[in-house]
Amino acid sequence: MTVPSPVITIDGPTASGKGTVAHRVAKHLGFHYLDSGALYRLTALMATLHGIALEDETAIASMARTLPCRFVHGHVFLEDADVTDAVRAEEVGVAASRIAVLPAVRQALVDLQVAFRYTPGLVADGRDMGTVIFPDASLKVFLTASAEARASRRYKQLIEKGISANMENLVKDLMERDARDSARSTAPLKPAPDAIILDTSELTAEEAVNKVLVWYAQTQANNTI
């Protein structure tokens, strides 16, 4: 019987730091990395580029099944175009949150996400990695942080990119996204029953990464007993 490659899932709300933590953990372990949120952003971006209404669940789901995307050395490609910065735009994030509540779209992207699991292992970040996509993950972590802390991080990211931002609007937007993601009927944002909760409000990225690495080492040690 073939033992599936190990998976570490890191879920959490927008701007909780899960992307940074997951990427660094994957790099440290030499694992592959899956930014599941980027798949939804890519789907939303492609729908917009092709003039598909964000409410057209059938059309978007059909497009998502064969999403022509690649992740190469930290860059995101869609139909051979480098869209690394484009997928991080605020309007794309809002659009991604809107299509993420559509059951047919989520189902269309399930197989695509599962396909990222191969040797030597995978670190996957998102909102339902530990609850839906990889329920048998070796380690499940749910990152959280206050809306204010998350808005502050997003504000700094946008300012560094030369994009104007308003803290009050960012806090409001994050809280609205949290409510929408938590209330959806399909794969709502919530920690898996066996997930470890990690509040990053007062932690640096490196401190969060070290905690995850320690927890993973402990799971590996327990598996060898």
Q: Over the stretch 26-67, which tens digit does the pLDDT of each residue have? A: 999 999 989 888 899 999 999 999 999 999 999 999 999 888
Residue 39 DSSP SS3:
helix
**Residue 13 marked as a ligand binder:** yes
Nearest to 197 by CA among 16, 3, 15: 16
148-169: per-residue pLDDT in tens? 999 998 888 888 878 888 888 9
Considering the domain 7-218 in this protein, what is its CATH number? Answer: 3.40.50.300
Below-70 pLDDT ranges, the chain: 1-2, 224-225
Q: What is the domain partition of the chain in residue ranges?
A: 7-218
**Residue 17 marked as a ligand binder:** yes
**Residue 4 marked as a ligand binder:** no
Q: Residue 71 forms beta bridges with which residues?
A: 76
Question: For residue 89, what pLDDT is reported?
Answer: 86
CA distance 142 to 193: 10
**Residue 19 marked as a ligand binder:** yes
Q: How far is CA 20 from CA 38, 142, 164, in A?
A: 13, 14, 22
Sheet of 81-82: strand order equals 69-72, 75-78, 81-82
Single-letter amino acid code for the residue at 181? D
pTM of the predicted structure, to 2 decimals: 0.82
Question: For residue 185, what pLDDT is reported?
Answer: 74
**Residue 224 marked as a ligand binder:** no
Neighbours of 30 (CB within 10 A): 8
**Residue 30 marked as a ligand binder:** no
Question: For residue 2, what pLDDT is reported?
Answer: 64
Question: For residue 225, what pLDDT is reported?
Answer: 55
CA distance 171 to 147: 6
**Residue 20 marked as a ligand binder:** yes
**N residues, the chain:** 225
Question: For residue 116, what pLDDT is reported?
Answer: 87
Question: For residue 59, what pLDDT is reported?
Answer: 96
Question: For residue 80, what pLDDT is reported?
Answer: 87
